[in-house]
Amino acid sequence: MALKFEEFTLHDKQGDYANVKHIRLSGTNFGIGNKLGELAKNRHSLQMPKWSSTTKRDAQYTYLKKNYPAHFDRMAGFANAFGEDIQQAEHDYSCFGITLAFPMCSAVYYPPCSTETETGIISRNADLELVRTPLLPGDTTEKSSTKIMGKPYVLELHPDKGYSSLVMFCFELYGLALDGINAEGLVVTHLHGDVLNEDAYKPGMDSGVGINEMLVVQQLLDNCKTVDEAKEMLLCNKHFRMILPTHLLIADKFGNSFVWEYPIEHNQDFFTDGNSEIQILTNFPLYKYPAIYTFPKSNDLSCPFARYKTLSEEIGTYRGKVSNDSIKKINSKVFVRQEMYKTPPPVAVRTIYHNVYDCNQRTMEVSFYRKEDNNKQERTEYFKFKLK
């Protein structure tokens, strides 16, 4: 299958935070990975982690060949763009790099019975530090000039094996999907899972054997039609954490949704089903705090409990079904602003993008943070994409 590559610039304005591109790739998974590697090599300065041992490398590749062959083929293509044979490569191409920031984020799933379009919709804010901060003591990578997601990509993949998908693909093409939708109408988004206890999770900063917290999004999109299939795939795979705890909000075109989470020990799986009701997710373990009356008190509007309450209260002001414009307005109430913080962080955090996925129409709308003008945030228009 010959590779087909198309690229479009969505937003590139002098002085704005983000330079946004849309890439459409059709072909074999090897060819898709090779093209992504070529773009990454020519455009971006990449971190290139190395395997700590050949034993771990070989075990990971054996695992991926068996459990996620599409990704292994993309890895092989990516490595080939850097002049390496995947079977002998000293660099770890299983993740194409690591993330550079600790995200917050807020998301809401609206089942078909609650929307004017009578379709299931996920509305998601991606909140990130604007520049890189150290992840571990001794981290000497330059921070001040490193913007987080300054060059995001809307990536549309049409592989010869696996479902087509439309994803937010960030961190300069060497990261992995942050959220997306596939041709079957499955939507997957991941958020920071536990900002309350993030220090207790002790990031490994090293690849393991299995599926890491970034790769899981694309794995589900490549392989699953429904939330039941997604649950089974989550249970049947070995997961490890490189950097931070995450949890997933997943929905399908049949109006089903659930949240997947795990504890610090990573030895259990918790599924919270939506049961055809609106589901809200921010950055605390939902299984530990299943209702608002269980939330600890906080006077910091940026905290995950406050953002959850804000979303819940705003949703509660609507009588009847909500429109797409209303859905966008609701999430805008928790776009990160400096005045939300009781004690502002040393590095500014903003909602880098907000997107809206329609499970039934297989569409994504997305708007990006531009800049601040007189303490007022400016954002791009919403760009709309439909997966065919």
Instruction: Work out the number of other CB atoms within 10 angstroms of the CB of residue 259.
Output: 23
* Mean of pLDDT values over 104-109: 95
pLDDT at 97: 54
- Domains of the chain by start residue, with CATH: 4-386 (3.60.60.10)
Given a cut of 60, whether residue 377 has pLDDT beyond it is yes
* Mean of pLDDT values over 208-234: 95
Q: Which residue has the higher pLDDT, 14 or 102?
A: 14
Given a cut of 60, whether residue 378 has pLDDT beyond it is yes
Q: How confident is the model at residue 221 (pLDDT cuts 50, 70, 90)?
A: very high
Cβ neighbourhood burial of 130 (10 Å; 0-12, 13-18, 19+): middle
* Mean of pLDDT values over 51-69: 94
* Mean of pLDDT values over 343-371: 95
Of the ranges 108-117, 262-271, 297-306, which is most confident? 108-117
Given a cut of 60, whether residue 334 has pLDDT beyond it is yes
Q: How confident is the model at residue 139 (pLDDT cuts 50, 70, 90)?
A: very low
Instruction: Please give the structure tokens belonging to residue 49.
Output: 């982690």
Given a cut of 90, whether residue 52 has pLDDT beyond it is no
Phi, psi of 72 (to 5 degrees): -60, -40
Given a cut of 70, whether residue 140 has pLDDT beyond it is no
pLDDT at 96: 65
Tens digit of each residue's pLDDT (9 = 90 or more) over 129-138:
888 655 444 4
> Of all residues in the chain, what percent carry a pLDDT higher than 70?
93
pLDDT at 144: 45
Nearest of 311, 320, 190 to residue 244 by alpha carbon: 190
Q: How many helices (H) and strands (E) does the chain have?
A: 7, 16
Query: How far is the C-alpha of 298 from the C-alpha of 196, rounded, in Å?
Result: 12
* Mean of pLDDT values over 240-249: 89
pLDDT at 102: 63
Q: What is the DSSP string of 141-202?
A: S--TT-BTTSS-EEEEEEESSS--EEEEE-TTTTS-EEEEEETT--EEEEEES-TTSGGGG-
